[in-house]
Each structure stands twice: as C-alpha cells, then as structure tokens.
Amino acid sequence: MSEIKIIKNCLPEKDFESVKNTIYSDYFQWYLNFGVNHKKDGFVQFTHTFYHNYTKHSDWFDSLKPLIQILNPLSLIRIKANLLVKTNQIIEHGMHTDQPFKCSTAIFYLNNNDGYTKFENGKIISSEENKLVIFDNFLKHSGSTCTDTNERIVINFNYVEKLI
C-alpha cells in the first residue's frame, strides 16, 4: 500500500459510541509513558496497550472488534491507545515508523481537536472523531498535541494485511 487511505465515519454511530464510551470510561486504565516516539525523547503521553506480541493485554480488547473487522488483518502486531493532553501550542513529536519491519498502520481518531497526524510527504490528516487512516508502516509520520480540547486520543493499529 503506497497511498494513505482515509475512511471518514468509519464505524456505525452505535459502534463508535461504544468504543468511545469504553475509552472515556472512569474505569479505563491509562499508563504514563516517558517518551512518545521513543523512551526519554523529552515528551510524555498516556497509553493503553490492547494487544502486543501475539497476546491480548487488555480486558477491553473485545471493544475494538468492530475496528478489527474493518481492517480484517491476517495478523495483529500491536494495538495501542495514545492520549496526549492539551498544550499551549501544537507540539509535533517527530517523524517515525511504528515498527522496524513491513506491515500496515492504521490510526483511529476518537475525538475532534486541532491536533493532527503529519506525514513525511507533507500530507496532514486532521483529528476528526470516527476517522480511520490506513498506510504502509514505512511511511514516516508524526503525531501532535492539541490546543482546543483537554485531550487528543487515537488508537494505533499495527498489523499484517491479508493478501487478496
């Protein structure tokens, strides 16, 4: 996949509200990470790992089934929610790839805000709730903070696509 695929209004409203309500629940666990792109990069974020190294890491994994069905992966590699808090100015966290090998990446946006995902080719994808962006993992990208809401939340998927 060489292009960036964008699916607006990705989930039916009922499914989207279910995913969003799960992640915005008072019981959903967030973990402090010292580093956004890599440890000790000077940034902090909160994360929740749903799946990693062929293992479920979260009681809330099943809440993502509607998104996993859309992606229809051959194999999952990692699923992680990222929460960045509001900053006075937009901060980009630097270009990176999620994995050191060929796979696909998808970003699902949970809320509307003025943050974005920026790609090394200059393309900027705004944070709009219920939008899914799919691209080749080797396409470098950077997330950002936001200034107009208290948080920017995305769910990041790394997976191997099925060959058609």
pLDDT level of residue 107 (50, 70, 90 thresholds): very high
Strand partners for 32: 46
> Given the structure tokens 């060489």, which residue do they identify?
2
The separation between CA 3 and the C-alpha centre of its own chain, rounded to angstroms, equals 18
Residue 69 · residue 119 · CB < 8 Å: no
Average pLDDT over every residue of 82-98:
93
Query: In the predicted model, what is the mean pLDDT of the chain?
Result: 94
Q: How far is CA 156 from CA 50, 51, 77, 135, in A?
A: 10, 11, 11, 11
Q: How many CA atoms lie within 13 A of 43 on its CB side?
A: 23
pLDDT level of residue 141 (50, 70, 90 thresholds): very high
Fold annotation for 5-158: Jelly Rolls (2.60.120)
CA distance 47 to 111: 16
Average pLDDT over every residue of 100-112:
94
Residue that wins the pLDDT comparison between 97 and 63: 63
> What pTM, to 2 d.p., does this model score?
0.95
Q: What is the DSSP letter of 162?
A: P
Amino acid at 129: E
**Percent of the chain with pLDDT strictly greater than 90:** 82
| Cα torsion 108, 7, 10, 1: sign | negative
